[in-house]
Amino acid sequence: MPPSAPAPHRTSTRPGLTVALHLDGRRAVVVGAGHVGVRRALQLAEVGADVTLVSPEVWPRSSIDELLSQGITWFAREYEPADVEGATIVVAATGRSDVDAAVLRDAAAAGAMANHVADATAGDFSLVATTDLGHIQVSVSTAGRTPALTRWIRDRLAAELSDGYPALVELFAEVREELRAAGRPTRHRGWEDALSGGVLDQVRAGDVEGARVQLRRHLELA
């Protein structure tokens, strides 16, 4: 058989398309189990993916119990091309250029989307730094150029948004359901007017009911 072509290296400067993938029950394969590989495996398991981890060792060793408790299957051996068959998502995280290139190549042949943790331009997608605050998800990306700064920006934004915003989301969702139940359109200038009118400050002060009254008034529900 002729030798396989090397994995393509993407160098586009265009920004990636940010999406939220619904991976519940989908097969995800992570090859390599250092700090980053372990983190990727846990992230994928957290969103419901059926995760397989392939690596002779897991580092740190203390992560093994957590990985197994999350339902992650660990194959304690070297990578084999058949490992990516049937996968939706594949992550190359061995830190060995020859193995990671093979993982990307095999993933492409299997029709799977692949991520190269060491070089975002070499794969099909990169993972953004994400924090969940109730129903608010904060995601930040620097297109793989500076992960440390990406995480710092994410944490800074999350700290700001944690003050009042999760409760505000719940309030807006409840009042939106009132509009729907009344047969009223949910697109209304009143949302922006209420925000300009200080409902966030009321929620932050603990006066959620006062904020509700003001919001309903702006939406002509009062």
Cβ neighbours, 10 Å, residue 208 = 18
* Tens of pLDDT, residues 1-33: 344 444 454 545 567 788 889 999 999 999 999
pLDDT tens sequence across 31-89: 999 999 999 999 999 999 999 999 999 999 999 999 999 999 999 999 999 999 999 99
CATH 2.60.40.10 holds for 27-127: no
Across 79-156, the runs of DSSP E, i.e. the strands, are 89-92, 113-116, 129-133, 136-140
Condensed to tens digits (0 to 9), the pLDDT of residues 94-129 reads 999 999 999 999 999 999 999 999 988 899 998 888
CB proximity list for 130: less than 8 A, separation 6 or greater: 137, 138, 139, 140, 154
Asked if the model's pLDDT at residue 222 lies above 90, the reply is no
- For the chain, which residues make up each domain, given as ranges? 27-127, 165-218
C-alpha to C-alpha distance for 163 and 180, rounded to whole angstroms: 28
Which residue, chain included where needed, has tokens 């002509």? 220
The pLDDT, as a whole number, for residue 55 is: 98
Flag the least confident range among 97-111, 140-154, 196-210.
Answer: 140-154
Note whether 139 and 129 are within 8 A (CB): yes
Q: How much is the pLDDT for 10?
A: 53
